[in-house]
A = this chain, B = another copy of it.
Amino acid sequence: MQRILSTDLAAHPYEKVLVEGWVHRVRRLKSVAFLILRDAAGLAQVVLTDPARAEALTEESVVAVTATVTPNPQAPGGVELTGPEIRVHAAVDVPLPFELHRPALTAGLPAQLDHAALALRHPARRTALRIAAAATAGFRSALEAQRFVEIQTPKIVESATESGANVFRLDYFGRPAYLAQSPQFYKQMMVGVFERVYEVGPVFRAENSDTARHLTQYTSLDAEMGFITDHRDVMAALTRTLAGMVGEIVARTGHETPEVPAEIPAVHFAEALTIAGAPADEPDLAPAHERALGEWARREHGSEFVFVTGYPMRKRPFYTHPDPADPTWSNGFDLLFRGLEIVTGGQRLHRYADYEAALAKTGEPLAAYRGYLDAFRYGMPPHGGWAIGLERLVARLTGAANVREVTAFPRDPHRVTP
């Protein structure tokens, strides 16, 4: 018999069907017991007229149930399964470290992460990962519609570039090599090939920061585009992309998501400091400043999103394009969502001589950037791009206090398992 999903049961009244899934819960009454079966789609109620039979059905055991679909307005979904024959695929014979059938997991986060294979089955954890998958799918389809081509780039690199801090070092056949902190250089090089490219992939940060918003591996949604006028073209493409992501989340999960304005409000960094009540000589925005800006954007513009543009050049990476009108400011931007930075982007340098000059300032040897500089030596258009931190976005969307709650198997300075 062909298995059907729990959500399809109502379409088969009075038929004998096969459902398969996990024993989500067993409720024992005096003369009857209810087995609540969980599958990928939802829950199904199975009626056991002999409550003694429920004894063997421990929670999370995997079962196949052949039974008759019986309408019952009191049952969830309007039907229940009666007269079941139950076959056990895998029996659980140890106590669970925590229960999955409560509305929220009562176990603390460390216990959830230690037992991720179990905790992720909880509907709340599962929903966060479905939102992440929808956001990623929306990112791709919005970019494909804008002529971006997907690329895959190396995660093992020779040089600890960009100051060399916060990179993981590995043994590459007896030589040192490093895990890529971002696909930045590669996506820029690929602008020379496809003009517009994107990548969804892991990035690695050896940052010893045990906070609610840092991970040592996270998923970066990167894009880069050529033949722009300046960073505002990048911001426009990003805005369209965010709208596609939000649309896909709503379409797939029904999760309540904020509207992406057709034009997201943007403030220059200097103005942002004033709004946040920060001293005018601050070189960057602290988390408290970002929160203040998030509140300002909601209050003044009714927007959950706000761009901050023109960050000081001295706080942006060497490849950042300066503001032609005043080169102490950059054509770089961040996007804040509900007061948290979730995207960094901007226009990049595109002329070889500008790279030579910018790298000379850093004091780093040009040789470390040889393959990257090749792209500029052999002709590159004005270009720019961005990187979205997937886990931060999903945490902000779901209201999760910690990015670890929306990551299947998070990595931080103290956790490298499971």
Interchain CB contact under 8 A, B371 and A116: yes
Interchain CB contact under 8 A, B173 and A170: no
Asked if A156 meets B416 with Cβ closer than 8 Å, knowing A62-B380, A90-B351, A173-B206, the reply is yes
Taking CB as reference atom, which chain B residue is nearest A379?
B60
A121 to B372, CA, bound (A): 14
Instruction: Report copies per complex.
Output: 2
- The interface residues of chain B lying within 8 Å CB-to-CB of A114 are 371
A selection of 23 A-B contacts at a CB cut-off of 8 Å is: A90-B352, A90-B381, A92-B378, A114-B371, A115-B374, A116-B374, A118-B375, A126-B193, A129-B151, A137-B140, A137-B150, A153-B408, A156-B168, A156-B179, A156-B216, A169-B170, A169-B171, A186-B408, A189-B418, A190-B408, A201-B201, A202-B202, A370-B418
A150 to B90, CA, bound (A): 25
Asked if A152 meets B132 with Cβ closer than 8 Å, knowing A186-B408, A371-B418, the reply is yes
Interface string of A132-159 (1 = CB under 8 A from B): 1100110010001001011111111110
Q: Flag whether A405 is at the interface (Cβ < 8 A).
A: no
- The interface residues of chain B lying within 8 Å CB-to-CB of A379 are 22-23, 60-62, 90-92
Taking CB as reference atom, which chain B residue is nearest A416?
B158
Q: Which of A164-218 contact B (CB under 8 A)?
A: 168-173, 175, 177, 179, 186, 189-190, 192-196, 200-202, 204, 206, 208, 216-217
Interchain CB contact under 8 A, A217 and B154: yes
- The interface residues of chain B lying within 8 Å CB-to-CB of A158 are 416-417
Nearest 6 Cβ contacts at the A-B interface:
A371-B418, A117-B375, A170-B170, A60-B379, A40-B195, A133-B150
Interchain CB contact under 8 A, B156 and A193: no
Q: Flag whether A39 is at the interface (Cβ < 8 A).
A: yes
- The interface residues of chain B lying within 8 Å CB-to-CB of A189 are 116-117, 120, 418
- The interface residues of chain B lying within 8 Å CB-to-CB of A22 are 192, 379
Interface string of A25-62 (1 = CB under 8 A from B): 00000000000000110000000000000000000111
Asked if A227 meets B20 with Cβ closer than 8 Å, knowing A371-B417, A416-B156, the reply is yes
Q: Flag whether A96 is at the interface (Cβ < 8 A).
A: yes
Q: Flag whether A382 is at the interface (Cβ < 8 A).
A: yes
Interchain CB contact under 8 A, A380 and B90: yes
